[in-house]
């Protein structure tokens, strides 16, 4: 099941997250909803990312693949180059460079869609709170047994209201 | 004291920035119709060119590159307004960038769309453009990967892809908000495009990370694109083209014309959409200073390029140099110097004269000057080849080329007008101060 709590103050929501983590909740069980980006201090609700690694991998992969393709195409129908090399990295370096960058762009975008959960299979039963302007909502995934304790913790931390949603 | 938008209530910011999306004034409809009429005329002119062949243009031996290549270079240059400027401001965390970035990013996408059309228009047999794309075929023919034309294709493809994604990413949260209360077709459009954005911290974190990374990636791409366009010229051993400084010279020119286009668009949107509270004198002042800096850099490069040619005194180079400075192209050349250097130096350099109106006037001048700069680079060199036997008549455009050129400017206006009715021209969510900024 889920608990949804509304907060107005940054300190209150940080306090709530820290207390919930102390009683065994993990970052995977917690989601903060807001109309604008909310940045927490390191250690509060960290979301580690592999986006940079994916971007570099995508860049290298696409750059190598396309350079390989150009090499193949140049040899597949070799032009008369008058003794010069049929394939030259200097001559096709621009294509290698652009395709490397294209790989970085596409892999970054693809990973953004995946990591943000926009194209991943999501739990359809998870409630998405309608956040009033200026507020933040904390959604907590918990079991029926954990719910009363968690709700009390949220209220003590300064939540304006706590709602129970969905069955476990 | 002026109110900064960050101090306004969020509901007010939302209302102000979403308001231009609904309804259309008579002026707006008139502008759309006028732009559409010019675009259609250009389309008809292109149709005639396709039907009758390239003979309807003024292109003839030895000037095979005329208005079309000038326009190609000009629009690719304008595209540097957005993504490059936005990426620099985002990476340096310049707070004043917030109302500027989306307007700039949209310019990039539209300018690239328009600029990318010109190599196809210039082909003559435009329907065979796909021969540029490497695909398996029965004759086992592949494009020549060592040709700068193919470099252009890959560079522009990468830049368009990157710029569209860079424009799209920060639009997602705004579209999710727009999907809440809107007309049915708009709800469907925004819901589809926002991909089910919920506003969770996971999504926000990933979005911000992606935007930072994209800013880092797009910068070297933008620089490379105009460098590759410059290499279209400098790889040829033609007088006043075969220059090692052409790459940076073109990049500087591109950023220069890009900033001018951005100032012009911002000034127009400010009036048309009543965004005086968001696009303030502060933004125009900062961009005007950047314009002045680029003007000085442009002059430095132009001076260096011409001085070395003059000092070298190589006959074929000097023939082109003379057409620039004292010959048939001198009026264009000196008008270009006035537009790109004298006017910005006076209007942007003297603090008292640096106003929104003067920034708009300077921008119009710079855009004219930069278009002329491309014309002066392309045509005189082709008209004065190294072999005197190859020299021919002077190039003059026909109404077909003029109509197509005018259509591209109208297309830019039309695309921008339509965009401003579909999407907020300023990122609403970016106006909320982050905790780090509050600290």
Test A33 with B150 for CB contact under 8 angstroms: no
Q: Which of residues 130-159 of A touch B (CB under 8 A)?
A: 131, 133-134, 139
Tell me the CA distances in angstroms from B334 to A59, B330, B375, one per residue in order: 45, 6, 13
Test B198 with A33 for CB contact under 8 angstroms: yes
B189 CA: distance to closest CA in chain A (Å)? 16
The whole-chain average pLDDT of chain A stands at 88
Test A88 with B155 for CB contact under 8 angstroms: no
For residue range B371-382, list pLDDT tens digits in order: 999 999 999 998
Collect all residues with Cβ–Cβ distance below 8 Å to A144 and sequence separation of at least 6.
A1, A168
Q: Could you give the CA distance from residue A50 to residue A58 in angstroms, rounded to a whole number? A: 12
Residues linked to residue A69 through DSSP beta bridges, in sequence order:
none
Q: Read off the pLDDT of each residue in A51-55 and give the average, rounded to a whole number.
A: 96
Q: Read off the pLDDT of each residue in B123-138 and give the average, rounded to a whole number.
A: 84
Q: Could you give the CA distance from residue B189 to residue B127 in angstroms, rounded to a whole number? A: 32
At residue B275 the predicted structure's pLDDT band, cuts being 50, 70 and 90, is: confident
* Best-predicted range by mean pLDDT (A23-32, A36-45, B303-312): B303-312
Q: Residue with structure tokens 């297309």?
A: B411
Residues of B in contact with A31 (CB under 8 A): 200-202
Residues of B in contact with A131 (CB under 8 A): 199
Closest CA to B143 of B131, B156, B161, B128: B131
Residues of B in contact with A134 (CB under 8 A): 10
Q: Is the ipTM of this complex over 0.85?
A: yes
Tell me the CA distances in angstroms from B144 to A81, A105, B73, one per residue in order: 12, 25, 22
Q: Could you give the CA distance from residue A72 to residue A66 in angstroms, rounded to a whole number? A: 10
Cβ–Cβ contact A116 with B under 8 A: yes
B207 CA: distance to closest CA in chain A (Å)? 7
pLDDT score recorded for residue B3:
56
Does B357 map to a domain?
Answer: yes
B162 CA: distance to closest CA in chain A (Å)? 6
For residue range B304-318, list pLDDT tens digits in order: 999 999 999 999 899
For the cut 50, the answer to whether the pLDDT of residue B438 exceeds it is: no
pLDDT score recorded for residue B144:
82
Cβ–Cβ contact A97 with B under 8 A: yes
**Distance separating the N- and C-terminal Cα atoms of chain A:** 4
pLDDT score recorded for residue B7:
64
pLDDT score recorded for residue A98:
96
Pick from B162, B204, B231: which is nearest to A37 by CB? B204
Cβ–Cβ contact A69 with B under 8 A: yes
pLDDT score recorded for residue B398:
94
Cβ–Cβ contact A89 with B under 8 A: no
Test B206 with A47 for CB contact under 8 angstroms: yes
Q: Read off the pLDDT of each residue in B193-215 and give the average, rounded to a whole number.
A: 92
Contact B427, B63 (CB under 8 A): no
Q: Could you give the CA distance from residue B47 to residue B102 in angstroms, rounded to a whole number? A: 34
At residue B148 the predicted structure's pLDDT band, cuts being 50, 70 and 90, is: confident
E-strand ranges in chain A read: 2-7, 30-34, 136-141, 161-165
Q: Could you give the CA distance from residue B322 to residue B399 in angstroms, rounded to a whole number? A: 28
Does B10 map to a domain?
Answer: no
**How many domains, in total, are found in chain B?**
1
Test B150 with A95 for CB contact under 8 angstroms: yes
B423 CA: distance to closest CA in chain A (Å)? 17
The whole-chain average pLDDT of chain B stands at 88
For the cut 80, the answer to whether the pLDDT of residue B21 exceeds it is: yes
Task: Give the domain CATH number at B292.
Answer: 1.20.1630.10
For residue range A79-123, list pLDDT tens digits in order: 788 888 888 888 889 999 999 999 999 999 999 999 998 887 667
For the cut 80, the answer to whether the pLDDT of residue B2 exceeds it is: no
For the cut 90, the answer to whether the pLDDT of residue B340 exceeds it is: yes
Residues of B in contact with A69 (CB under 8 A): 134
For the cut 70, the answer to whether the pLDDT of residue B433 exceeds it is: no
B208 CA: distance to closest CA in chain A (Å)? 8
For residue range B36-56, list pLDDT tens digits in order: 999 999 999 999 999 999 999
For the cut 90, the answer to whether the pLDDT of residue B12 exceeds it is: no
pLDDT score recorded for residue B1:
45
pLDDT score recorded for residue B5:
62
For residue range B165-179, list pLDDT tens digits in order: 999 999 999 999 888
* Best-predicted range by mean pLDDT (A35-44, B205-214, B392-401): B205-214
Test B146 with A98 for CB contact under 8 angstroms: no
Q: Which of residues 25-54 of A touch B (CB under 8 A)?
A: 31-40, 45, 47, 49, 51-52
For the cut 50, the answer to whether the pLDDT of residue B436 exceeds it is: no
Pick from B158, B200, B210: which is nearest to A32 by CB? B200
Does B260 map to a domain?
Answer: yes
Test A118 with B195 for CB contact under 8 angstroms: yes
For the cut 70, the answer to whether the pLDDT of residue B184 exceeds it is: yes
Does B18 map to a domain?
Answer: no
Q: What percent of chain B has pLDDT over 70?
A: 95
**Assign residue B394 a region: left if phi > 0, alpha if psi is -120 to 50, beta otherwise?**
beta
Pick from A98, A119, A128: which is nearest to B154 by CB? A98
Q: Which domains does chain A have, with CATH numbers?
A: 2-35+131-165 (3.30.70.120), 51-115 (no CATH)
For the cut 90, the answer to whether the pLDDT of residue B428 exceeds it is: no
Who wins on pLDDT, B242 or B132?
B242
B354 CA: distance to closest CA in chain A (Å)? 35
Contact A165, A2 (CB under 8 A): yes
User: In chain B, which residue's Cα lies nearest the Cα of A114?
Assistant: B206
Residues of B in contact with A91 (CB under 8 A): 145-146
Does B224 map to a domain?
Answer: yes
pLDDT score recorded for residue B228:
92
Domain that holds residue B222: 23-128+150-430
Q: Could you give the CA distance from residue B314 to residue B134 in angstroms, rounded to a whole number? A: 41
pLDDT score recorded for residue B6:
61
Does B135 map to a domain?
Answer: no
Cβ–Cβ contact A78 with B under 8 A: no
A152 CA: distance to closest CA in chain B (Å)? 23
Q: Read off the pLDDT of each residue in B357-379 and give the average, rounded to a whole number.
A: 95
List the A161-165 sheet strands across, edge first. Answer: A30-34, A136-141, A2-7, A161-165
Helix axes B201-234, A51-76, angle to 10 degrees: 30
B199 CA: distance to closest CA in chain A (Å)? 5
pLDDT score recorded for residue A114:
93
Cβ contacts below 8 Å, chain A against chain B, sum to: 148
At residue B247 the predicted structure's pLDDT band, cuts being 50, 70 and 90, is: very high
Does B439 map to a domain?
Answer: no
Contact A22, B177 (CB under 8 A): no
pLDDT score recorded for residue B435:
43
Does B141 map to a domain?
Answer: no
Test A105 with B214 for CB contact under 8 angstroms: yes
pLDDT score recorded for residue B183:
85
pLDDT score recorded for residue A109:
97
pLDDT score recorded for residue A134:
78
């Amino acid at each position: 099941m889920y608990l949804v709590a509304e907060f107005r103050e940054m300190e209150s929501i940080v306090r709530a997250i820290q207390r919930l983590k102390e009683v065994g909740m993990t970052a995977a069980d917690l989601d903060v909803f807001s109309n604008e980006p909310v940045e927490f201090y390191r250690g509060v609700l960290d979301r580690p990312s592999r986006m940079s690694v994916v971007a570099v991998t995508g860049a290298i992969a696409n750059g190598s693949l396309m350079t390989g393709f150009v090499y193949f195409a140049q040899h597949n129908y070799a032009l008369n180059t008058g003794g010069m090399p049929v394939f030259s990295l200097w001559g096709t370096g621009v294509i290698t460079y652009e395709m490397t960058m294209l790989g970085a762009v596409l892999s970054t975008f693809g990973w953004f869609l995946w990591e943000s959960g926009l194209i991943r299979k999501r739990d359809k039963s998870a409630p998405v709170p309608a956040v009033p302007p200026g507020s933040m909502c904390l959604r907590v995934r918990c079991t029926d047994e954990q719910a009363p304790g968690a709700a009390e913790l949220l209220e003590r931390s300064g939540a304006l209201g706590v709602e129970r949603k969905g069955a476990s | 004291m002026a109110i900064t938008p960050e101090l306004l209530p969020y509901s007010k910011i939302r209302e102000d920035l979403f308001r231009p999306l609904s309804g259309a004034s008579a002026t707006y409809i008139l502008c759309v119709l006028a732009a559409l009429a010019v675009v259609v005329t250009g389309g008809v002119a292109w149709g005639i060119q396709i039907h009758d062949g390239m003979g309807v243009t003024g292109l003839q031996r030895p000037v095979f590159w005329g208005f079309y290549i000038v326009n190609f270079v000009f629009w690719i240059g304008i595209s540097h307004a957005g993504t490059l400027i936005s990426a620099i401001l985002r990476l340096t965390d310049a707070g004043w960038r917030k109302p500027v970035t989306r307007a700039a990013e949209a310019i990039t996408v539209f300018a690239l769309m328009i600029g990318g059309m010109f190599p196809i228009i210039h082909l003559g047999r435009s329907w065979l453009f796909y021969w540029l794309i490497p695909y398996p075929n029965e004759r086992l023919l592949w494009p020549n990967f060592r040709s700068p034309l193919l470099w252009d294709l890959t560079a522009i493809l990468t830049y368009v892809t990157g710029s569209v994604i860079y424009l799209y990413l920060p639009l997602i949260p705004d579209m999710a908000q727009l999907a809440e209360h809107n007309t049915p077709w708009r709800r469907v459009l925004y819901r589809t495009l926002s991909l089910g954005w919920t506003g969770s911290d996971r999504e926000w974190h990933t979005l911000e990370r992606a935007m930072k990374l994209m800013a880092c990636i797009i910068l070297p791409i933008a620089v490379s694109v105009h460098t590759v366009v410059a290499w279209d010229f400098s790889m040829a051993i033609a007088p006043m083209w075969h220059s090692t400084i052409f790459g940076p010279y073109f990049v500087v020119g591109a950023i220069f014309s890009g900033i001018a286009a951005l100032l012009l668009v911002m000034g127009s949107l400010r009036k048309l959409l009543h965004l005086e509270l968001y696009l303030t004198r502060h933004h125009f002042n900062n961009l005007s200073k950047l314009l002045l800096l680029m003007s000085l850099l442009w002059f430095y490069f132009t001076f260096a390029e011409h001085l070395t040619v003059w000092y070298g005194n190589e006959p074929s180079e000097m023939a082109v140099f003379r057409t620039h400075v004292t010959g048939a192209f001198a009026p264009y050349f000196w008008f270009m110097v006035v537009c790109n250097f004298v006017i910005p130096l006076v209007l942007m350099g003297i603090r008292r004269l640096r106003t929104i109106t003067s920034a708009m006037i300077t921008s119009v001048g710079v855009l004219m000057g930069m278009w002329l700069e491309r014309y002066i680079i392309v045509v005189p060199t082709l008209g004065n080849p190294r072999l005197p036997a190859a020299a021919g008549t002077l190039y003059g455009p026909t109404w077909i080329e003029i109509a197509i050129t005018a259509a591209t400017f109208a297309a830019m206006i039309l695309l921008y007008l339509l965009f401003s009715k579909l999407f907020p021209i300023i990122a609403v969510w970016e106006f909320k101060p982050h905790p780090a900024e509050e600290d």
